[in-house]
């Protein structure tokens, strides 16, 4: 579903991604863990075209978002690029809901305005998604009336509303206290059980261990270790990973 090949990203002279390669198969939930500043958000932002890569290749559901040919980075024309980006649904640490729109309107805005769905279908789908995240009674509420956990669940429903092929989560619970974290992680776990393909940056080790099929460990702009969740957490391959994980005990 997703192939990232040898992606680099420089900000001026600083190399935030130093040749990252990974794949996510259809139906897989892959967790990215690693210290702050290791390039995790930058990678997700490159996959969702919020940043442009410096080199490398990204293929989403068979469509090439970017490739590098003879040293030249090639992106498709704007319209094609927007179409490919609609295959990914992104959920951020700060929920980024539109404050002046109700929950229902937040969820239906992209389906109506970008996908040109008809109103009845968009609303029916939004109602289904609100039930999926356990907020069927909040359709007409404004974000400010909701807890952070509820807002993030609306943001997840909004990302799902464009029917993405892969969901990208960037520390979806880092802005939440433990109780609200649990309500959001249980929604994401439910999506994983439904075989929704996802790449999740998280600091929730228990969540990563129990929900992710695979773990990738980032350090200084590189993936330095990875494997099945069981392998990764049991073997704790090297000292750097041990040191990182000991911060979460």
Instruction: Fill in the DSSP letter of residue 77.
Output: -
In angstroms, give the least distance from the CB of 170 to Mg ion.
6
Q: Is 176 within 8 Å of 19 (Cβ atoms)?
A: no
Q: Does position 42 bind Mg ion by CB under 5 A?
A: no
| Cβ at position 41, least distance to ligand ADP in Å | 3
- Alpha helices per DSSP H over 67-204: 78-85, 103-113, 119-132, 148-160, 178-193
Q: How many of the chain's residues bind ligand ADP (CB under 6 A)?
A: 9
The option from Mg ion, ligand ADP, none interacting with 158 (CB < 5 to 8 A, set by class) reads none
Residue nearest to Mg ion (CB): 41
Is there a contact between 107 and 130 (Cβ–Cβ < 8 Å)? yes
Query: Which of Mg ion, ligand ADP, none does residue 39 bind to, with CB < 5 to 8 Å depending on kind?
Result: ligand ADP
Tell whether residue 41 is a contact of Mg ion (CB under 5 A).
Answer: yes
Q: Which is nearer to Mg ion, 15 or 63 (CB)?
A: 15
Which residues 6+ apart lie within 8 Å of 128 measured at CB? none
Q: Residues in contact with Mg ion, total (CB under 5 A)? A: 1
37 binds, among Mg ion, ligand ADP, none (CB under 5 to 8 A by kind): ligand ADP
Rounded alpha-carbon distances, angstroms, from residue 13 to 8, 9, 10, 39, 52: 12, 10, 6, 15, 15
Element (H, E) at 215: strand 214-219
Nearer to ligand ADP, 150 or 181 (CB): 181
According to the binding rule CB under 6 A, does residue 173 interact with ligand ADP?
no
DSSP string, 16-32: EEEEEEEEE-TT-EEEE
Out of 25, 26, 37, 238, point to the residue binding ligand ADP (CB under 6 A).
37
The b-or-e profile of 42-56 (16+ CB within 10 A means b, else e) is bbbbbbbbebebbbb
Chain residues 120-179 in contact with Mg ion, contact rule CB under 5 A: none
**Site residues for Mg ion per CB under 5 A:** 41
**Site residues for ligand ADP per CB under 6 A:** 11, 16, 36-42
């Amino acid at each position: 579903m997703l192939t990232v090949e040898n992606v680099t990203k420089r900000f001026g002279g600083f190399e935030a991604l130093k040749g990252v390669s990974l794949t996510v198969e259809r139906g897989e939930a892959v967790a990215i863990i690693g210290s702050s500043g290791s390039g995790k958000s930058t990678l997700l932002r490159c996959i969702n075209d919020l940043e442009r890569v410096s080199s490398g290749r990204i293929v989403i559901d068979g469509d090439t978002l970017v490739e590098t040919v003879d040293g030249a980075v090639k992106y498709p024309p704007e319209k094609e690029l927007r179409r490919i980006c609609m295959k990914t649904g992104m959920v951020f640490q700060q929920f980024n809901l539109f404050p002046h729109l109700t929950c229902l309107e937040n969820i239906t805005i992209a389906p109506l305005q970008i996908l040109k769905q008809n109103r009845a279908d968009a609303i029916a789908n939004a109602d289904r998604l609100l039930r999926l995240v356990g907020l069927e009674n909040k359709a007409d509420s404004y974000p400010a009336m909701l807890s952070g956990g509820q807002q993030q669940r609306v943001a997840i429903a909004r990302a799902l509303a464009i029917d993405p092929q892969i969901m990208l989560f960037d520390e979806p619970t880092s802005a939440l206290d433990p109780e609200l974290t649990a309500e959001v992680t249980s929604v994401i776990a439910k999506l994983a059980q439904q075989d929704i393909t996802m790449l999740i940056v998280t600091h929730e080790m228990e969540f990563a261990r129990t929900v992710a099929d695979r773990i990738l460990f980032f350090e200084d702009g590189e993936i330095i270790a990875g494997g099945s969740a069981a392998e990764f957490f049991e073997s704790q391959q090297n000292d750097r990973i041990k040191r990182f994980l000991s911060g979460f005990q």
